[in-house]
Amino acid sequence: MPMGHTATDQAGTGGLTATEHRLANGLRVVLSEDHLTPVAAVCLWYDVGSRHEVKGRTGLAHLFEHLMFQGSGQVKGNGHFELVQGAGGSLNGTTSFERTNYFETMPTHQLELALWLEADRMGSLLAALDDESMENQRDVVKNERRQRYDNVPYGTAFEKLTALAYPEGHPYHHTPIGSMADLDAATLEDARAFFRTYYAPNNAVLSVVGDIDPEQTLAWVEKYFGSIPSHDGKPAPRDGSLPEIIGEQLREVVEEEVPARALMAAYRLPHDGTHEADAADLALTVLGGGESSRLYNRLVRRDRTAVAAGFGLLRLAGAPSLGWLDVKTSGDVEVPVIEAAIDEELARFAAEGPTAEEMERAQAQLEREWLDRLGTVAGRADELCRYAVLFGDPQLALTAVQRVLEVSAEDVQAVAAAKLRPDNRAVLVYEPTAPAEIADSAEDAADDPESAATVEATDENEEAAK
Amino acid sequence: MTELATMEFHPQPQAGEPKVWAFPAPERGTLDNGLTLLRCHRPGQQVVAVEVLLDAPLDAEPAGLDGVATIMARAFSEGTDKHSAEEFAAELERCGATLDAHADHPGVRLSLEVPASRLAKALGLLADALRAPAFADSEVERLVRNRLDEIPHELANPSRRAAKELSRELFPADARMSRPRQGTEETVENIDSAAVRAFYEKHVRPATATAVVVGDLTDIDLDALLGDTLGSWTGSTAQPRPVPPVTADDTGRVVIVDRPGAVQTQLLIGRIGADRHARVWPAQVLGTYCLGGTLTSRLDRVLREEKGYTYGVRSFGQVLRSAPDGSGAAMLAISGSVDTPNTGPALDDLWKVLRTLAEGGLTDAERDVAVQNLVGVAPLKYETAAAVASTLADQVEQHLPDDYQATLYQQLAATGTVEATAAVVNAFPVDRLVTILVGDAAAIKEPVEALGIGEVKVVTAE
């Protein structure tokens, strides 16, 4: 039965509210009403990701995510896709280091179908899982790996940097896509055991956002999910804690057939959910977000040594976050020239901190990103799940932007001084094996045809976690 | 051991009563300077989207200066009469805004997104960019160098490399469409600030431009705001440019762009066909969805979900350029990537899917599911202001009426299985498809030749 019903409308939530409930089997439920558009988003986060995988079985969480679309107790074959799409909905699933999510956005009047489908696979996936779908999806995932990582220039950079930044044996040492050898090695029994271990109502959070009647929605949730037995026995993930800073500069030089030299780096940053992580986000935005950032102005505009230069933040809750630097060199420029300029900029930033104008710009950019995230029912549903699963409180999603706006310039400077230093990074340098020659008639299609390859693009994506 | 779960099963629920939703109707007007304006209030959408269309198509670029429209588009955000390039970027970001600009066959398009609370400031910057761009020598020179640096990255990307080759194969060599949208090394290096300014002066003026503003406009006096910003942009009047006809050679053939050692083959199989002005368009959308719109469509049902050759193959129709008289064209194509050893078998299956479709047609069930999806997803597809603005701008760019999208949904719902079959079979005739394969020629040439889908030519990658 539902219990622990709360409703809040705190300051700084932009008028958004969410209520929380828990079924007797442990399933946490978050509801948020919004009647502007006749749609409803269903989002289900399972508290399992690639960090739970064991040696020799990397990629299993993501391969398993694919299997969740291969039918369940009452749903045949590709029925999860067929039924949702046939109802005018869209759906997908993604896997990251820390969680696996499944989501549907439905026209309001089809909401109940999405709940029925999610409950069916949570409670009865193994009734449908067989060798045929295992073998087929193993091949699909291996082709996903080839397409997204192995067959594109710099495609494995993130994997290499992650492996450098998190030591051997650390749960985040490998990325969610996994290795080809481990994908080959996974067995049907591995998949079954994975389901039995991690796919339980008490290891999940369900959010429903949009044009909903909360009472009716909760009754449906209770009807479809309420009888799914909970079970314990999920092993705690391996410890992801690491020293505050790396302590030395790690470095790998990759000689590969790539079009230009590149300098990439991963800095060890504070855990997601902390004030310091928000400060780091602002620091990276001032230094490397957009086209008015310090690194863009220095490398692309003034020195003209780079084609592109930017910083990104991979927020992680169970291990230090990663600040991700990506610079592609211009013409024949050599990496040390770029590296010296970056070190100079980072040192100056650590010494002086951001200007008031830089703070204003960075906060405005992050605020817009939050408005974008929370501006769709699907984005809001995902954020509610994220804060519920990782931090135990979905309400934190609604006040996240407020927290970013409250960070001071001093805090930004402090985190930059403490973390953005050479002895706290893993560096990846690309040196092209054959000097990239430019063809006489180079064409570019401004639009990648694949991006238009869709009236509605819906397939399962493994999250690049970037 | 069976794995019958202990949960209590319930029958599949029935749908509730659908709610009415219609694609939003914009309000159309004209500013005193001749700028066409479409506006649309979307309650709750706090990030406002503004699209500006300029009648500066790629075929207007002077000979030998392919890419000048792209450099101009990028130079709009590199300084004005009030701000240097760095200041302009900083001011935009201070509004929490993003401004993208790109040049394509129909014209140049600027896309602004900004929180409603800072719309006034951002519109001012956008107006400055259009009214008084600096086009400083040094900034244009930097953009040119930057563009030259980008080219090798694009050529190394299999899907972009395939798109380049398909354009070269399909269109006559003297047609702008046969050449890279953003220019080649040869043409881009000839571009300087004088060329950019000349292109701007010849083709950019409010009288031939359109602005689309979509978002939560509560408490915003848009007329006053526009009067102070885009309304202050002046320029001469001009006749719209005539649209050149689009022709293509779709003789069935195969071009392999050789990438020795590639673990996958990128496929791009295409030709040209009807655009949105054609009566057949709704049926073509429907049929193309049934062929390859999603992973339960015919192509992925075999290539992905049965054989595991690919992460996904999609078929699509993408308008290249439209004309008021309906003589425009769309690219009709199938794209995806398959692992190298299975390239021959995958193409064999792909052609079998097309032949089976031509012989047996679509089923009513397939048609029904496609209609339910294409029409049903509309409210969620158009939840954001940016999505609505983009479609309204597409309509203007393609010389379609403002209620086109709304009408399209009615037409899709009224399209039958027979029409959808005929449209997709005509769109993808098995002997009139140009196939581009970016992959390891040594491994794939022989098996592809054996398929008999056309003469096979190998070109070396850059």
Report DSSP state, residue B368.
H
- Tell me what percent of the residues of chain B surpass a pLDDT of 90: 97
**Helices of type H across B171-221:** 185-188, 193-203
Residue B461: its pLDDT value, please?
A: 86
- The reply to whether residue A453 touches residue B337, judged by beta carbons under 8 angstroms, is no
Kindly state whether residues B291 and B189 are assigned to the same domain: no
Kindly state whether residues B46 and B118 are assigned to the same domain: yes
Domain limit, last residue, from B183, B201, B232: B232
Residue A2: its pLDDT value, please?
A: 36
ipTM above 0.90, yes or no: yes
Kindly state whether residues B170 and B77 are assigned to the same domain: yes
User: Which of B115, B145, B168 has its CB closest to that of A443?
Assistant: B168
Residue B240 confidence (pLDDT) above 90? no
User: Which of B164, B309, B376 has its CB closest to that of A445?
Assistant: B164
CA distance B309 to chain A (A): 7
Q: With bands split at pLDDT 50, 70 and 90, how would you rate the model's confidence at A438?
A: very low
B244 in a structural domain? no
Contact by Cβ (8 Å): A458, A81: yes
Q: With bands split at pLDDT 50, 70 and 90, how would you rate the model's confidence at A462?
A: very low
B4 in a structural domain? no
Kindly state whether residues B261 and B341 are assigned to the same domain: yes
Q: In terms of CA atoms, which chain B residue is nearest residue A309?
A: B146
Residue A8 confidence (pLDDT) above 60? no
- Cβ pairs bridging A and B (under 8 Å): 350
Residue to test with chain A: of B383, B384, B388, most A Cβ within 10 A: B383
Mean pLDDT of A295-313: 97
Mean pLDDT of A275-302: 97
In this predicted model, what pLDDT tens digit does every residue of A213-266 receive, in sequence order?
Answer: 999 999 999 999 999 999 988 998 889 999 999 999 999 999 999 999 999 999
Q: How many CB atoms lie within 10 A of CB B172?
A: 11
CA distance A379 to chain B (A): 11
Residue B6: its pLDDT value, please?
A: 83
Residue B194 confidence (pLDDT) above 50? yes
Give strand ranges (E) for B177-307.
210-215, 253-258, 264-273
Residue A14: its pLDDT value, please?
A: 65
Kindly state whether residues B428 and B295 are assigned to the same domain: yes
B338 in a structural domain? yes
Residue B304: its pLDDT value, please?
A: 97
B71 in a structural domain? yes
Mean pLDDT of A1-21: 59
CA distance A331 to chain B (A): 6
Residue B239: its pLDDT value, please?
A: 84
CA distance A168 to chain B (A): 27
B17 in a structural domain? no
Residue A3 confidence (pLDDT) above 60? no
B1 in a structural domain? no
Higher pLDDT, B418 or A15: B418
Residue A443 confidence (pLDDT) above 70? no
In this predicted model, what pLDDT tens digit does every residue of B250-302 receive, in sequence order?
Answer: 999 999 999 999 999 999 999 999 999 999 999 999 999 999 999 999 999 99
In this predicted model, what pLDDT tens digit does every residue of A339-392 receive, in sequence order?
Answer: 999 999 999 999 999 999 999 999 999 999 999 999 999 999 999 999 999 999
And the tokens for B41? 């209030």
Domain limit, last residue, from B201, B232, B263: B232
Contact by Cβ (8 Å): B409, B283: no
Residue A452 confidence (pLDDT) above 80? no
Least confident range from B28-32, B232-236, B238-242, B277-281: namely B238-242
Residue B219: its pLDDT value, please?
A: 94
Kindly state whether residues B97 and B221 are assigned to the same domain: yes
Kindly state whether residues B388 and B435 are assigned to the same domain: yes
Domain limit, last residue, from B183, B198, B232: B232
Contact by Cβ (8 Å): A72, A128: yes
Ramachandran class of A177: left when φ > 0, alpha when ψ lies in -120 to 50, beta otherwise: alpha
Which chain A residues are within 8 Å of B372, Cβ to Cβ?
A: 85-88
Residue A12: its pLDDT value, please?
A: 52
**What is the widest separation between alpha-carbon atoms in chain B?**
80
CA distance A462 to chain B (A): 11
Kindly state whether residues B214 and B280 are assigned to the same domain: no
Q: Which domain holds residue B218?
A: 27-232
User: Which of A143, A357, A375 has its CB closest to that of B47?
Assistant: A375
Kindly state whether residues B162 and B273 are assigned to the same domain: no
Calculate helix-pair angle for B364-376, B281-292, nearest 10 degrees: 110
Residue A233: its pLDDT value, please?
A: 85
The CATH number of whichever domain residue B408 belongs to comes to: 3.30.830.10
- CA A127 vs CA A120, A176, A187, B138: distances in Å: 10, 26, 17, 66
Residue B462: its pLDDT value, please?
A: 81
Residue A258: its pLDDT value, please?
A: 95
The secondary element (H helix, E strand) that includes residue A263 is: strand A262-269
Kindly state whether residues B182 and B270 are assigned to the same domain: no
Kindly state whether residues B139 and B264 are assigned to the same domain: no
Mean pLDDT of B76-90: 97
Give chain B's domain count.
Answer: 2
Q: With bands split at pLDDT 50, 70 and 90, how would you rate the model's confidence at B47?
A: very high
Q: With bands split at pLDDT 50, 70 and 90, how would you rate the model's confidence at A147?
A: very high
**Which residues neighbour A72 within 8 Å (Cβ) at sequence distance 6 or greater?**
A80, A120, A121, A123, A124, A125, A127, A128
Mean pLDDT of B41-54: 96
Give strand ranges (E) for B105-235.
107-115, 210-215
Kindly state whether residues B422 and B345 are assigned to the same domain: yes
In this predicted model, what pLDDT tens digit does every residue of B332-383 receive, in sequence order?
Answer: 999 999 999 999 999 999 999 999 999 999 999 999 999 999 999 999 999 9
In this predicted model, what pLDDT tens digit does every residue of B204-227 receive, in sequence order?
Answer: 999 999 999 999 999 999 999 999
B321 in a structural domain? yes
User: Which of B89, B149, B307 has its CB closest to that of A291?
Assistant: B89
User: Which of A90, A120, A297 has its CB closest to that of B380?
Assistant: A90
In this predicted model, what pLDDT tens digit does every residue of B394-448 receive, in sequence order?
Answer: 999 999 999 999 999 999 999 999 999 999 999 999 999 999 999 999 999 999 9
Nearest to B145 by CA among A301, A340, A264, A262: A301
Residue A441: its pLDDT value, please?
A: 32
Which chain A residues are within 8 Å of B115, Cβ to Cβ?
A: 364, 367-368, 371
According to DSSP, the residues that pair with B322 across neighbouring strands are: none
B348 in a structural domain? yes
Residue B182 confidence (pLDDT) above 80? yes
Q: Phi and psi for A215 in degrees, rounded to 5?
A: -65, -45
pTM for the complete prediction?
A: 0.94
